[in-house]
Chains A and B, each alone.
Chain A
Amino acid sequence: MKNKFKFLVGFSLRRKIERKSFLISNIVLLILVILISNLDTVITSFGGDFDDVYTIYYEDDLEENYFDMFSLAVKNGPFQGKNDLIVINESYTLDADDKNVIVVKVNEGEEITAKISSNDLVSTTLYSSIYSTLNGIKMDATATKLNINQEDISKLLKQISIEREVFNDEGKNEESEALLGGLSFIVIMPFFFGIIMIVQMIGLEIFDEKSTKSMEVIMSSVEPKVHLLSKLAAVNVFAIIQFVLLVLYGVIGVLIRSFFAKMSFGNASLPFDINLSSYSDRIVGVIIIITILFLLTNLLYSLCMAILASTANEMDDYQKIISPIMILMVLGFYTAIFSPLFDGAVFAKIMSHIPFFTLMIAPGLFISGDISVLEIIIIVLIHVVTLIAIYSIGIPAYKQSVLDYSNDGVFKRFIKNVRSSRKIKLNK
């Protein structure tokens, strides 16, 4: 039976990998990942403004010329192409064919005003940068005019400094909690969609063998549990292969990015930048927890799907039978989205202990400190017990269901098979 198990896993895996759809989807994925990791280069090559050189003409009639301050602030502002800014201190009149030229004119009247002119719309970031710099100039000039000390203004405008102290939460603060909460959700998303993919593949494979009436021949050669476990193994190995390929595509994307950077076509750093160094200890913990919970939850959903799919005789049955699984997953997903709103609520805590929802909810609650490591261990134990229970009830029911082509409703058929398999087990 060991050899049959190995053969079934290998055969199922080979069929998936040799499909044209697998090849096409991976080519598309590779292209997408490369495009995303080189998004700025792509946009630029299609006429985006990442490498546009802007020339800014600055002119003011204030008592003190603020050109140096303006130039320094704009060049050091958040505009991504700041190295390609030319700031000139002179008056300029725009020509109709001037491209990427901005004229900034500051006037001292009763109140300091400014005019920004250009032929086309400019980068939003650059505009914001100019806007905030002009505000600074206005403040400084007004202060000088009113003879107010610069330090006083700074004190007036400076935001309040808060030293946050939480005695029961080991120095955590709300900002980091919010960030980590959001991060755990982002990390869960691929796992969530991964489970959906795995569950669908297992269900369809079993349904395919049953609906073509091949099951009778297959089951006469292989024990039901070997057959079921081979399906779970094949699909999960396939998911791992797909995951590894995705990582590989990411690496290829980054390498291509580095290549473009060397060729001076773009920026070597990724187009998104998240600094998580201060949270690294907790992130590692959360990722370990998510991984363990993912494996257990995935196994649970896969097992349930396999058992349910064995009941389906037609596509209509399959669609009916998959709906409870999808409802459970979506319910967990939305509870996870809304659980931060019920901070510390018992509802979310209880949900996190229910195996089907754990993966989506528990990591967030763990980060926010609503559940402890001990509770995570309890949750894992609950998962293991549930898995054993479903396996021991499900395998005999699976054997009955895969050979049941009766005309009863699909759920009625499922319940009938669970009951009759229990009876057979008890009689034995």
Chain B
Amino acid sequence: MLRVDNVTKRYGELVAVNKLSFEVKKGEIFGLLGLNGAGKTTTFRMILNLFTPDEGHVYLNDDVIGYEHSNEIGFLSEERSLLVKMTVLDQLTYYGKLKSLPTEELLKSIDYWLNRFNITKYKNKKIKELSKGNQQKIQFISAIIHNPKLLILDEPFNGLDPINVELFKEVILEFKSKGATIIFSSHRMEHVEMFCEKLVILVDGESILSGYIRDIKNSFSQQNIFIKGDIIPEDVSKIEGVIKVINHTDRFEVKIKNKNHVKDVFNYTSKCDNVSLFEVELPSLNEIFVSKVGVNYEK
């Protein structure tokens, strides 16, 4: 279990992270979100023991995190962090040995993962000769090759096509089912919603929202109604509690202040012709982010 306990990190006068606390249990995927400069990288670095917090501590299984835990942690950085002149085999050997894997086990593991990601044929190629997607696969393999108990994934789907995103998801969920603690960061809210049970949203080093996603969404009063049918948007807008009506190509999206207004919209819709869909949804994470921070997270 990972516990970030009231940590603060300053760079001179700048407070990069201020009194941040959260907890991630075994088998949980935790989202760490924030715009650029919000303090995500600093938080990751404190968890990785690259930075020592000025205040507070980071605990892994109740021990203050240190280099003795480095073999239990896997890290996929947002930026490409591969030695591009090395071959795939050398690169994976290098990172695997830094995690103290015995040679035989490491070589088996390399073969397994290269095969799993369909890149065995690149084993002796130099990293710089690979496509971005394949480089991302190598980077991902280097983060998981030693079966880490704590896996930190910063933008894991960068440069991947949808098929490979699915492959990555499969592996991440496999690690979750094996009981790994996973911290996940992405600029794509749908990825966060898809994976994470819990999250923290950082703005200027401060946590502005944290907890289970389900609870966060439930506590957020605004809701969305999706309608397929011959409604007149101007009429819907006049219903009390309706904030906005958005005309998508195949449906309308009606944003309402809270769930008490669902009934009024339903009553109106039921009188219209050709209605084939009426669906009430909780707000998306991005909407919650926009309402809290004032800017779009995914922009």
User: B-contacting residues of A (Cβ < 8 Å)?
Assistant: 1, 3-4, 7-8, 11, 15, 208-209, 212-223, 399, 403, 420, 424, 427-428
Contact = CB atoms under 8 A, between A and B. Distances in A.
A11 B103 CA distance: 13
B48 interface: yes
Contact of A209 (B48, B83, B93): B83
Interface in B35-54: 45, 48-52, 54
Given A3-B100, A403-B50, A220 B80 contact: no
Given A403-B50, A427-B54, A217 B75 contact: yes
Given A11-B97, A403-B50, A221 B70 contact: yes
A223 B80 CA distance: 21
A37 B77 CA distance: 54
A371 B51 CA distance: 47
Nearest to A212: B83
B80 to A, nearest CB: 6
Given A220-B75, A424-B52, A214 B67 contact: no
Contacts of B94: 11
B2 interface: no
B84 A212 contact: yes
Contact of B73 (A8, A212, A220, A403): A220
A214 B75 contact: no
8 shortest interchain CB distances as A-B pairs: A221-B98, A220-B48, A213-B81, A213-B79, A214-B81, A221-B70, A7-B97, A217-B81
Interface string B86-114: 10001001110111100000000000000
Contact of A4 (B52, B84, B93, B100): B100
A220 B77 CA distance: 11
Contacts of A213: 77, 79-81
B196 interface: no
A217 B97 contact: no
Contacts of B189: none
Contacts of B50: 216, 219-220, 399, 403
Given A4-B100, A11-B94, A427-B54, A220 B49 contact: yes
B70 to A, nearest CB: 5
Contacts of B11: 420
B45 A222 contact: no
Nearest to B146: A221
A212 B81 contact: yes
15 contacts: A11-B94, A15-B86, A213-B79, A213-B80, A214-B82, A216-B77, A217-B142, A219-B50, A221-B71, A221-B98, A222-B70, A223-B67, A399-B50, A403-B45, A424-B52
Given A4-B97, A212-B83, A222-B67, 15 more contacts: A3-B100, A4-B98, A11-B97, A208-B85, A209-B83, A212-B84, A213-B81, A214-B81, A216-B45, A217-B95, A217-B142, A220-B73, A223-B67, A399-B50, A403-B51
B12 interface: yes
Contacts of B49: 220
A399 B97 CA distance: 21
Nearest to B68: A1
A420 B12 contact: yes
Contacts of A209: 83
Contact of A216 (B75, B90, B93, B99): B75
Contacts of A7: 97-98
B143 to A, nearest CB: 8
Nearest to A423: B12
Contacts of A4: 97-98, 100
Contacts of B51: 403
A215 B85 CA distance: 15
A215 B82 CA distance: 9
Nearest to A18: B90
Contacts of A15: 86, 90
B27 to A, nearest CB: 22
Given A4-B98, A209-B83, A217 B77 contact: yes
A223 B70 CA distance: 10
A409 B277 CA distance: 59
